[in-house]
Structure 1
């Protein structure tokens, strides 16, 4: 009798384990090479070009002022001997003050461009994450990992699991669509 109860209990345990295994869903995973994605995404290319142009434009204005300062500094060297030590000290202090102001202006310009560009880049990254999440849900992925940068969570994966090109196409198509609509409005 004890053996019969033990056999029945064992049979029930085996059957319940089989049911649990049958209920376990297949885990579908993939990865995205985030460094390639961000380098090839049209929105990031446009953002980079925008801030290079903005930096060059504002930099030209500052560069013109720096060149005037350099010219004035060279003239100072020649005039210092002719105008005496008192004039040279006074003018030297003025030039030093202007040099500091120009250095501060360069630093402020750099910080301003970084802050503005950083805010826009955060928006792009947020959009990329939303797109990957929507893609994962639509395609039935349990996990989509990121690789390719310092925050990589995949150390190795077979190339067949790389969905970077798929995500990149979706992102670039979505990015082009609003731009095309804006051109039609103009």
Structure 2
């Protein structure tokens, strides 16, 4: 009779050990280093190369316009002494107008380059996010955290999302003030 509690204790200990081992054998919460994913992703290199080529071409166009304007300015400075006052004023207005057009064009191109860079980066990030989400579902992870200094979540099982509850509480607290 004294052996029964001992046998039950041993069985309970073995079952507990198995349960703990099974629980620890598969992590449900994991993380990825987002910066390493972006840097190591082969498409990132291709997208960056394509972007750099496009930016280089657009900047070369700007450089060409600036060079042409500078040549006109040098020509004006050489001929200025032989020009009438009216010719000088007209040429200065033309040069000033051209300079303003180049500046506006340069700003437009820089904005376009920035937008293209953001689109290219977002394409890579979308690829990574989609893959991580599919990977997480396939492997049965409940949550995959993205470590990038900001702690972004890359994938989360819908059951682990507390956004609605937190938002309700936050709004309730705000209304109470």
Settle same-fold status: TM greater than 0.5.
yes
User: 3-state SS of the aligned residue for 1:32?
Assistant: strand
User: 3-state SS of the aligned residue for 1:141?
Assistant: coil
Superposed counterparts of 1:117-128, under 5 Å: 117-128=117-128
C-alpha separation in 2, matches of 1:107 and 1:48: 22
C-alpha separation in 2, matches of 1:94 and 1:40: 51
In the other structure, the counterpart of 1:34 is 34
Deviation per CA, 1:151-184: give whole Å up to 9, x if none.
3349xxxxxxxxxxxxxxxxxxxxxxxxxxxxxx
C-alpha separation in 2, matches of 1:58 and 1:70: 19
Provide the aligned C-alpha RMSD in A.
2.2
User: 3-state SS of the aligned residue for 2:141?
Assistant: coil
Deviation per CA, 1:132-154: give whole Å up to 9, x if none.
111112222221111124x3349
Gaps of 5+ in 2: 1-18, 154-177
Query: Which 4+ stretches in 1 moved above 4 angstroms?
Result: none
C-alpha separation in 1, matches of 2:58 and 2:119: 19
In the other structure, the counterpart of 2:151 is 152
In the other structure, the counterpart of 1:97 is 97
Deviation per CA, 1:50-100: give whole Å up to 9, x if none.
111011112222211210111111121222222132211111111011011
The answer to whether the Cα contact below 8 Å between 2:51 and 2:120 also exists between their aligned partners in 1 is no
| Stretch of structure 1 that moved more, 101-110 or 76-85 | 76-85
| Stretch of structure 1 that moved more, 89-98 or 31-40 | 31-40
Gaps of 5+ in 1: 1-21, 155-186
The answer to whether the Cα contact below 8 Å between 1:136 and 1:144 also exists between their aligned partners in 2 is yes
User: 3-state SS of the aligned residue for 2:127?
Assistant: helix
Superposed counterparts of 1:75-154, under 5 Å: 75-149=75-149, 151-153=150-152
User: 3-state SS of the aligned residue for 2:69?
Assistant: helix
C-alpha separation in 1, matches of 2:60 and 2:152: 42
Taking structure 1 as the reference length, the TM-score comes to 0.62
Number of residues paired by the alignment?
130
